[in-house]
Structure 1
Amino acid sequence: MSLSNKELRLYLDGLLKVHEINDFCPNGLQVEGKPQLKKIVTGVTASQALIDEAVKRNADAILVHHGYFWKGEAQPIVGMKKRRIKSILDNDLNLFAYHLPLDVHPEYGNNRQLANLLNLENISAVSGVKPTGVVMTGELPSPMTADEVAALLSKKLNRHVLCEDKSGSLLSTLAWCTGGGQGYIETAVEIGVDGFITGEVSEQTIHTAREMDVAFFAAGHHATERYGIKALGEHLKEHFSVDVEFVDIDNPA
């Protein structure tokens, strides 16, 4: 079965409530290709490696979390950007990208999917942080040490996890923001959770964790954001009966 690129755009824009969220890039159809879609490849980032895999797999569209045309980036289409876009145009591919709308979606979003992966309970979005759902809180099924949480994350995400914990206390409540969310650590402290999970770490984040007595976990930008786009693709496969394949391009960051 196939669907049109317009049909997919309208469906995803509505499902992810694109027009309600201010973002750093355009969300939706970023590069238009062939009008009918029989095969969709999903992935975290529209890298050259993912484009090449999509071509090899005879895809008609690529659906990613990290697309193109970010605010503040250089506008000329030269070098790496030119090679990527040329590959997409030469192969008549459609490129769909959803950034913050996918992070915060209550069912398919990166934050929700990470919570599901860890079997967290009593999950809710932190009120007052926009867009709603960009920081979430929940409870571990049973109290764990920070080392045990780090080991769980490492097992589930299949990567090394940086853990900073001064107190050694048992953790019961967590806050998290996938990807580059280390700046929300003070929000986590303000709402009184025991630990904060994100993808990346900055130099000052470690000092904040130590001085404000909160356990901190950096589990990888790519690793923490695999699961939203994967879940969204699985939903499309079921909803439209279209061929959708997730391709994980390894990235240690």
Structure 2
Amino acid sequence: MKVTELLAYCHELLEVNAYQDYAPNGLQVEGKQEVTKIVTGVTACQSLINKAIALNADMVLVHHGYFWRNESPVISGMKQKRIKSLLANDINLVAYHLPLDGHLIYGNNAQLAKLWSITDETPQQNSLVRMGRLEYATNIEDFIEMVASSLGRLPLHLPGGPVRVQKIAWCSGGAQNDIEQAIEWGADVFISGEVSEQTTHQALENGIHYLAAGHYATERLGVKVLGEHLAEIFGLEVIFVDVDNPV
């Protein structure tokens, strides 16, 4: 199908205009005008691009693309090598950042709720930070074990909350500072991807558990299920490439 048609569909599906983002959403590097094979992944790193080249893909679809706010506009070094690889092989680079965190079906946060069987009860429906409830209160250690099993990595646990937990707040990626919102909503646990030094004290002194479950680990699902959806709707070949990252 034509790249322009695919982009128009994704733009409407992900409600791109609803977000004030830190990077351009949609097409970032232009390649072939027709697309039949897409490689999806979290970040448009060189490893992912090399895999797309090896698979003869027409498009790379990611959550983390290029041209971030306050980033140097000079195309040199690592950025030059990545973009040169895409252009030399006529591969489109398409990225969706906040729209792929916040979408209520295909977003990272929606997929995490599904993964952890959390009923979303967020007070502010347009919030990237989500709040919900487990069906039953569970021991915090059992909950941590479930999160670890589902993401394939053990989260860093900063204790502070009750022994048994039920009210869960979460936000994928680097949203550790949003623990303040979770505290305001009365969550027992807040989960995000990364952690800061002060998060330890925020959790302990405000009676909430914090789980740093990995930026990459909490943002794998959105782009994967979006790719699966595009494959189903348009009959495209879509391959998710897992370039693991310990952060």
Same structural fold, with TM-score higher than 0.5 when normalized by the shorter chain: yes
CA–CA distance in 1 between the matches of 2:200 and 2:162?
A: 15
- Per-residue CA deviations over 1:134-160 (Å, capped at 9, x if unaligned) read 111111122112221111111000012
For 1:97-176, what aligned pairs fall within 5 Å after superposition?
97-121=95-119, 123-127=120-124, 132-176=126-170
- Kept in 1, the 8 Å contact 2:43–2:63? The answer is yes
Question: In structure 2, what is the equivalent of residue 246 of structure 1?
Answer: 240
- Per-residue CA deviations over 1:83-105 (Å, capped at 9, x if unaligned) read 00000000000000000011000
- Per-residue CA deviations over 1:28-61 (Å, capped at 9, x if unaligned) read 0111100000100000000000000001111000
Candidates 20, 23, 26, aligned match of 1:22: 20
Question: In structure 2, what is the equivalent of residue 218 of structure 1?
Answer: 212
SS in 1 for 2:198: helix
CA–CA distance in 1 between the matches of 2:161 and 2:60?
A: 45
Structure 2 gaps of 5+ residues are none
Candidates 230, 235, 247, aligned match of 2:229: 235
CA–CA distance in 2 between the matches of 1:166 and 1:137?
A: 18
Count of residues paired in the alignment: 247
CA–CA distance in 2 between the matches of 1:97 and 1:27?
A: 6
- Tell me how far 1:168 sits from its aligned partner: 4.4
- Per-residue CA deviations over 1:139-196 (Å, capped at 9, x if unaligned) read 1122112221111111000012111223442101101000001010010000111110
Question: In structure 2, what is the equivalent of residue 184 of structure 1?
Answer: 178
- Kept in 2, the 8 Å contact 1:146–1:165? The answer is no
Letter in 2 for 1:209: A
- Tell me how far 1:247 sits from its aligned partner: 0.5
Letter in 2 for 1:160: L
CA–CA distance in 2 between the matches of 1:75 and 1:108?
A: 31
Question: In structure 2, what is the equivalent of residue 7 of structure 1?
Answer: 5
1:36 aligns with 2:30: no
- The TM-score with structure 1 as length reference comes to 0.95
- Kept in 1, the 8 Å contact 2:161–2:203? The answer is no
Candidates 38, 58, 62, aligned match of 1:64: 62
SS in 2 for 1:82: helix
- Kept in 2, the 8 Å contact 1:150–1:162? The answer is no
Question: In structure 2, what is the equivalent of residue 82 of structure 1?
Answer: 80
- Kept in 2, the 8 Å contact 1:125–1:134? The answer is no
SS in 2 for 1:140: strand
CA–CA distance in 2 between the matches of 1:62 and 1:8?
A: 13
- Tell me how far 1:127 sits from its aligned partner: 1.3
CA–CA distance in 1 between the matches of 2:64 and 2:139?
A: 33
- Kept in 2, the 8 Å contact 1:198–1:219? The answer is yes
Letter in 2 for 1:56: A
- Kept in 2, the 8 Å contact 1:41–1:244? The answer is yes
RMSD value over aligned CA atoms? 1.1
CA–CA distance in 1 between the matches of 2:29 and 2:121?
A: 34
CA–CA distance in 2 between the matches of 1:173 and 1:125?
A: 11
